[in-house]
Structure 1
């Protein structure tokens, strides 16, 4: 399930918070910006630059603002 609120993209690896709570350290992967859900976020946020990341283990997605 994607997080609706976006935070600033961290410097360094993007770690999955869901897996972190389960005691694992899993690096998320950049998600396809052309996916329909990502296009909807882009239109909803107007000029804000966003990137979506997905966890390869639990498939959690997170949306980040690019500073």
Structure 2
């Protein structure tokens, strides 16, 4: 079963972990291994972007439309 990824939000990407603890932190664009992202593509032509929280190091991967 393929993993599904949420689409990239239009606004800032906020860390869900930090938000739960009452400290919403804006995540920064990350350079997750391009080969890893290519392997995760459910169909040809799908692009991904990853974001990392500068506070807790949480990484989120989004599908780009």
Asked if TM exceeds 0.5, the reply is yes
Which SS does the other structure have where 2:17 is aligned?
helix
> Any stretches of 5+ residues in structure 2 without a counterpart?
none
Alignment of 1:47-58 (within 5 A): 47-58=45-56
Residue 6 of structure 1: aligned partner:
5
Q: Highest CA radius of gyration, 1 or 2?
A: 2
**Which one of 58, 62, 65 corresponds to residue 63 of structure 2?**
65
Alpha-carbon shift at residue 5 of structure 1 (Å): 4.0
Residue 27 of structure 1: aligned partner:
26
* Runs of 4+ with deviation above 2 angstroms: none
Alpha-carbon shift at residue 21 of structure 1 (Å): 0.4
Residue 39 of structure 1: aligned partner:
35
TM-score after normalising by structure 1:
0.79
CA RMSD between the two structures:
1.6
Aligned length: 61
Structure with larger RCO (C-alpha < 8 A, sep 6+) = 1
